[in-house]
């Protein structure tokens, strides 16, 4: 069970999540931490911990291991069907380490190498390597193209790292990479010219406006949702998710309002709108928005601000609107009626809400020094923030599973 951890998605050629790389704060360079039973007991008692399936949302996990752990303390309890063992140092001159890698391979685990420069075409290690990760920032595309054939010929799966723009994704895909790690999908593809949102989206804009208002009209929201049977169905699907509602079967918006209260309904109205705004985008974009929303909401509750409307939740939820709509954030917000403090935070204006957003981005990128700095600025214990982030991951995973069957597939 883990408490201090980050995850970064690895997407396939269709921009669906294939795996998550897991980064551990207590391990050097993000590696799997040393096992300490006493410390594990302490963490389990005081922090919200996660299992690998929780962290990776039942996807494959890429985990980096130090050579010491591979040689002496390899945790054989990990499931070889769902865990890829990542090596980031040259084992070719260390026969003991090569033997350990072969043993781990014989146990059924796949092996990934984090630097293709460590493998020559004649390397004795190449036959046991399943995945090679290539950092596209450290090398130019000409050199990458020259070196890829030897791995393709060896039937090695290729992962491009630090793919942070749609252009990088297109080039790497063309070169023959199988998977892509980076936040290219969380940025607008081709910025569209300034234009009103299409009429088909205006119902969703109305819902966003209602979720952001301090007032709440059940009749108005009922009227908006009742125009679209799919929206009605999805709202009830969300509300009846066991993570949110374990006790009662909700059969109408009015029933939900009675059971859950105005603030929680506002969150789900906003969530419903977002899920339908990005109808041609990767599911992971919505998933990130969900985790951000719940985390920022939990931090806002810690600080006692923005309960109605739920400003923390809205900042996190709408933080990727520019990528969902392929427009600059300024253009998007000029058409969507969010309260001023939410809009200001989304535009990067300095405020407590913008600090929440910076904090969740620090967790996503595993920049632990930023987590510590922002925790101090907000006067919240940073280990408490780790627990809140873990709660947000579990919540986001659960709501994603409710949405997935009804969320359109991304366009390749």
- Whole-angstrom Cα distance, residue 91 to residue 98? 6
Residue 195 has a pLDDT of 66
Task: Return the domain boundaries, the chain.
Answer: 5-185, 199-406
Q: Say if residues 79 and 54 touch (Cβ distance below 8 Å).
A: no
- Whole-angstrom Cα distance, residue 22 to residue 80? 15
pLDDT at 218 over 90: no
pLDDT at 267 over 70: yes
Range in 84-93, 242-251, 289-298 with the lowest mean pLDDT: 242-251
Greater pLDDT, 401 or 326: 326
As a dihedral over the C-alpha atoms of residue 281, residue 286, residue 288, residue 293, rounded to 10 degrees, the angle is: 150
Q: Which residues contact 400 (CB under 8 A, 6 or more apart)?
A: 57, 283, 286, 287, 290
Range in 46-60, 152-166, 240-254, 267-281 with the lowest mean pLDDT: 240-254
pLDDT at 231 over 80: no
Q: Which residues contact 297 (CB under 8 A, 6 or more apart)?
A: 267, 310, 312, 313, 316
Model's pTM, two decimal places?
Answer: 0.89
Greater pLDDT, 381 or 220: 381
Instruction: Give the pLDDT band of residue 255 (cuts 50, 70, 90).
Output: confident
Q: Say if residues 295 and 316 touch (Cβ distance below 8 Å).
A: yes
Q: Which residues contact 79 (CB under 8 A, 6 or more apart)?
A: 52
- Whole-angstrom Cα distance, residue 337 to residue 328? 16
Model confidence pLDDT, tens digit, residues 78-110: 999 999 999 877 666 678 888 898 999 999 999
- Whole-angstrom Cα distance, residue 385 to residue 389? 6
CATH fold of 5-185 reads TIM Barrel (3.20.20)
Task: Provide the 10 A C-beta neighbour count for residue 52.
Answer: 21
Report CA-CA distances (Å) from 113 to 18, 91, 246, 412.
17, 10, 43, 27
What is the mean pLDDT of the segment spanning 8-22? 94
Model confidence pLDDT, tens digit, residues 352-398: 999 999 999 999 999 999 999 999 999 999 999 999 999 999 999 88
**Is 199-406 a CATH 1.10.3210.10 domain?**
yes
- Whole-angstrom Cα distance, residue 170 to residue 168? 6
What is the mean pLDDT of the segment spanning 265-288? 85
* Mean pLDDT taken over the chain: 85
- Hey, do 5-185 and 199-406 end up sharing a CATH topology, with the first three levels equal? no
Q: How many percent of the chain have pLDDT more than 70?
A: 89
Q: Say if residues 207 and 224 touch (Cβ distance below 8 Å).
A: yes
Note the residue count of the chain: 412
Model confidence pLDDT, tens digit, residues 117-152: 656 555 667 788 899 999 998 878 888 888 888 888
The DSSP output letter for 197 is P
């Amino acid at each position: 069970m883990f408490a201090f951890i980050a995850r970064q998605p690895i997407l396939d050629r269709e921009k669906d999540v294939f795996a998550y790389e897991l980064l551990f704060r207590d391990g050097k360079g993000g590696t799997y931490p040393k096992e300490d039973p006493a410390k594990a007991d302490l963490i389990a008692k005081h922090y919200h911990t996660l299992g690998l399936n929780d962290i990776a949302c039942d996807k494959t996990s890429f985990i980096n291991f130090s050579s010491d752990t591979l040689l002496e303390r390899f945790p054989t309890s990990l499931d070889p069907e769902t865990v890829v063992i990542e090596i980031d140092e040259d084992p070719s001159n260390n026969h003991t380490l090569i033997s350990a890698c072969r043993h781990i391979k014989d146990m059924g685990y796949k092996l990934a190498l984090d630097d293709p420069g460590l493998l020559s075409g004649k390397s004795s290690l190449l036959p046991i390597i399943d995945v090679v990760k290539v950092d596209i920032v450290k090398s130019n595309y000409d050199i990458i193209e020259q070196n890829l054939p030897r791995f393709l010929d060896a039937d090695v799966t290729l992962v491009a790292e630090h793919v942070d723009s749609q252009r990088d994704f297109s080039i790497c895909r063309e070169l023959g990479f199988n998977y892509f790690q980076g936040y290219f999908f969380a940025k607008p593809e081709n910025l569209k010219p300034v234009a009103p949102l299409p009429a088909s989206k205006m119902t969703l804009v109305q819902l966003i406006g209602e979720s952001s208002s301090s007032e709440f009209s059940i009749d108005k929201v009922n009227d908006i949702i009742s125009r679209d049977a799919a929206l009605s169905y999805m709202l009830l699907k969300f509300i009846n998710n066991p993570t949110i509602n374990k006790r009662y079967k909700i059969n109408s918006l009015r029933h939900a309002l009675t059971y859950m209260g105005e603030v929680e309904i506002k969150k789900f109205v906003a969530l419903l709108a977002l899920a339908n705004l990005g109808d041609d985008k990767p599911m992971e974009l919505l998933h990130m928005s969900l985790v951000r929303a719940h985390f920022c909401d939990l931090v806002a509750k810690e600080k006692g601000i923005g309960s109605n409307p739920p400003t923390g939740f809205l900042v996190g939820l709408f933080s990727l609107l520019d990528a969902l709509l392929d427009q600059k954030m300024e253009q998007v917000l000029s058409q969507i009626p969010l309260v001023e403090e939410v809009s200001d935070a989304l535009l990067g204006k300095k405020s407590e809400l913008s600090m929440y957003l910076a904090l969740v981005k620090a967790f996503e990128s595993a920049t632990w020094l930023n987590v510590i700095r922002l925790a101090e600025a907000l006067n919240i214990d940073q280990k408490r923030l780790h627990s809140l982030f873990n709660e947000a991951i579990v919540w986001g995973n659960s709501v994603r599973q409710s949405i997935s069957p009804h969320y359109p597939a991304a366009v390749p």
